[in-house]
Amino acid sequence: MRVLVSVDMEGIAGVVHSDDIQPGHREYERNRGLLTEEANAAVRGVYAADPDAQVLVADAHAQFRNLVPELLDQRGELLRGTPRPWGMMAGLSPDLDAVLYIGYHGKAGTPRSVLAHTIAGRVIADVRCNGVSLGELGLNTALAAHHGVPPALVSGDDTVAAEAAGAAPGIHTVVVKRALGARAAAMIHPEEACRRIEAAVPRALAARASVRPRSIEGPVELEVQVHRPHLTEHALLVPGMDRRDGCTLLYTAPDFPTAYNVVELIAVLGTL
Please report, as a single letter, which amino acid is at residue 45.
G
DSSP per-residue string spanning 44-106:
HHHHHH-TT-EEEEEE-STTT--S-GGGS-TTEEEE--SS-TTGGGTT--TT--EEEEEEE-P
Please check whether residue 198 is in contact with residue 205, taking contact to mean a CB–CB distance below 8 angstroms: no
136 is in an annotated binding site: yes
50 annotated to bind ligand? no
According to the annotation, is 221 in a ligand binding site? no
25 catalytic residue (yes or no): no
The catalytic residue among 117, 172, 227, 230 is 117
Give the Cα separation of 198 and 37 in Å (integer): 10
Q: From CA 130, how far away is CA 17, in angstroms rounded?
A: 33
- CA 258, distance to chain mean position in Å, is 18
In sequence order, what are the beta bridge partners of 184?
181
Q: State the binding site.
A: 8, 10, 61, 105, 136
Q: State the binding site for Zn(2+).
A: 8, 10, 61, 105, 136
* Active site residue ranges: 117
